[in-house]
Amino acid sequence: MRFRFNNAILVYAAKCLLGLAICYIFYISFPKYPFYWALISVVVALSPDNSNEQAINRMIANLLGCGVGLCIYLLYLPELVLICLGAALVIAIGVALKITATLRSALAALVIVLLQEENVKHWYIPLERVLCVITGCLVALLLTILFNLLPGKWKEANKAD
């Protein structure tokens, strides 16, 4: 078996490493906030396709997951019921919006917002998580756009492979 990195994979790796580095700077700069979710979000939102349209759809999907999570967070239901209800809503809305290819991102954002490690629900926790998820998504979106604006070999690497 022969293992080969093509140029598109190298560009994708560069975007991932740069995105992780940027989000890690947020993580260490603002220790009171859960920016580890931005680290997860940036790698979920990036993909090797380098398509601006897909990057925007992943951002919309993450906003969908965060929005649904925020809307149902304060319902007094067991956490598993909330997650299942939220997943059903995200899938239904995602199908209606025709963003089924990015539902994984939406569902990941939903789970990030809804999971509660603490025994007491605090209203600010999901807001902090939404901020961190959106930060990771924005970093991924901006990196995708930036890499598409770079001249020559970067663009060819994404189209040729």
pLDDT tens per residue, range 17-40: 999 999 999 999 999 999 999 999
Which positions ≥6 away from 44 have C-beta within 8 Å?
58, 104, 105, 108, 136
Residue 30 CA to chain centroid, in angstroms? 19
pLDDT tens per residue, range 90-121: 999 999 999 999 999 999 999 999 987 766 66
The mean of the pLDDT values for the chain is 88
**Mean pLDDT to the nearest integer, 61-78:** 93
pLDDT at 1 over 70: no
Nearest in space to 47 (alpha carbons), one of 33, 58, 63:
58
Q: Give the 3-state secondary structure of residue 51.
A: coil
Which positions ≥6 away from 141 have C-beta within 8 Å?
45, 55, 56, 58, 59
Work out the percent of the chain whose per-residue pLDDT is above 90.
63
* Domain boundaries along the sequence of the chain: 7-160
Predicted TM-score (pTM) of this structure: 0.82
pLDDT, residue 52, reads: 82
